[in-house]
Structure 1
Amino acid sequence: MHEGHLSVPQGKGPFPGVVVLQDAFGLTAELRRVCDHLAENGYLAHAPSLYRRGRCVQQVFRGLMRDEGPVYDRIRQARDELTARPDCTGRVGVMGFCMGGRFALVAGGRGVFDAASVNYGVLRGIEEFEDLLDAPCPVVASFGGKDKLVPLPDVERYREALERKGAPVDLKVYPEVSHSFFQNYTGVRGAYMKVSGMTHDPEASADGWSRILAFFGEHLAPAAS
């Protein structure tokens, strides 16, 4: 594996995989906890370090706004690293939060992954979602009704585009929560999130995880022989 964090389930496997994509804070302890939670539920979880040596932060954000560039090569590479493992079934999903949610949306629309979990992905600047959904995989998505960064009309346009493309979709808006409601940051990051009006919501987070794991369980299970 290249730079990043890998969580491996107990047992011999093989296991389906999930590429976990960071928010703007990078490869944090919170993201590692996400990987560990996926592993506890039977998934090989790999969070690639998108800010790794040789790739500057500016380049990653350029990829975020243009929906193309080396960051997507790194995401594809992370998938390939999982499928090359003998303990992987070969079926791999992608999950992202905020910035990573946008990356998951785009990567999940290119026929590369078997399922995508898009969590309050930044949707700004997308005029036609169909342009990013050439071959969309099944999508489970979660957004906050009080999210100041992701307008609800854009969320509905995303849902409608997936439905028009015929992709299985479970998209839910939690009316009373803000951006980043899955993340439970502490310390300086936690203080920043609180001041910015982005707070962890245990109830919505638990419901979101329940939906994600059920959706992944359906769409990342090995194909019937």
Structure 2
Amino acid sequence: MIAGTEEEASDLNRRNFLVTSLAVGFAVAASPVMAQAIHTSDEGLVAGEVQMPVPGGTIPAYRAYPAAGGPFPTILVVQEIFGVHEHIKDVCRRIAKLGYYAIAPELYARQGDVSKLQSVNEIFAQVVSKVSDEQVNGDLDAAVAYARGTGKADVSRLGINGFCWGGRIVWLYAAHNPAVKAGVSWYGLLNTPPWNPKGTSAISVAKRVKPPVLGLYAAKDGFIPASDIDAMRREIRGSKSEIVVYNDVEHGFNADYRPSYNPSAAQDGWRRMQEWFRMNGVA
């Protein structure tokens, strides 16, 4: 290695990437954190933060996988609006306990740290509006490459699982990467994102989605109207993708740390997620 190269790369990363480590605990804007929040032990796992190479530097990611055996089928875990905070880390551990290599890259790393912002509106205005879909797809590609390089992840059995902001990304990434075997979108926005009126909608790429995607949606979702779900169902008709709608539940029904949590819908969705991945070659 040429002298100074590593130091120069580190300096470049500090200049161009605003987030160099993952949030500790839950994002401020997600408060109040409910006592019901689930904590999954890392016993029997290799779990924690890593630095993942991307064009121009590195970004932090959380990864978890079983301590023994491998390589394991691989699940990309795509963050909520709140970034890779404690809930998303816990989801990675839950998935790892099922026998997967799970990795959640911090996809806002170039634009800013949302964990300290006070409201969802601030998160949209200050960070999310600046995050392009092309950047996200590229960073998820980098996560696949990173996982492959560890020797612990079998990326020929690749799935993607995303929530809220990340639920929309599931549809977009499934259209982007034909190597994905299956995806699960938890209450992912389907129409044009309000933070970017020129952004791509999930509905508009539905015909290009070749991997089967399972959409898990809420009948009382204040962000995703029934008309959008109906439109998406029309677009995926004839494909292997499916949409399930839970009655009498709200957006964020799997977010066990929030008042929107619905144990019945969350547990059924988790069961369906596992079956979907097994049925479609991610096992």
What TM-score results when the alignment is normalised by the length of structure 2?
A: 0.67
Partner residue in 2 for 1:177 = 249
The AA in structure 2 aligned to 1:156 is: D
For residue 95 of structure 1, the aligned residue among 156, 161, 172 is 161
Deviation, 1:219, is 1.4
For residue 49 of structure 1, the aligned residue among 58, 83, 106 is 106
Partner residue in 2 for 1:84 = 149
CA distance in 2, matches of 1:217, 1:144: 24
CA distance in 2, matches of 1:51, 1:159: 30
The AA in structure 2 aligned to 1:81 is: Y
Contact 2:111-2:131 within 8 A present in 1 as well: no
* Cα root mean square deviation, aligned: 2.1
Write out per-residue CA displacement over residues 123-154 of structure 1, whole angstroms, 9 at most, x where no aligned residue: 23267825354242111110000001001121
Partner residue in 1 for 2:66 = 9
Partner residue in 2 for 1:107 = 173
CA distance in 1, matches of 2:91, 2:136: 21
Q: Calculate percent identity across the aligned residue pairs.
A: 27
Matched, 1:61 2:97: no
CA distance in 2, matches of 1:127, 1:92: 23
Deviation, 1:63, is 4.2
Greater radius of gyration (CA): 2
Change over 3 Å in CA distance of 1:176–1:24 after alignment to 2: same
Other structure's SS at 1:102 match = helix
Change over 3 Å in CA distance of 1:119–1:128 after alignment to 2: closer
Partner residue in 1 for 2:185 = 118
What TM-score results when the alignment is normalised by the length of structure 1?
A: 0.83
Aligned residues: 205
Q: Structure 1 regions of 5+ residues with no counterpart?
A: none
The AA in structure 2 aligned to 1:123 is: L
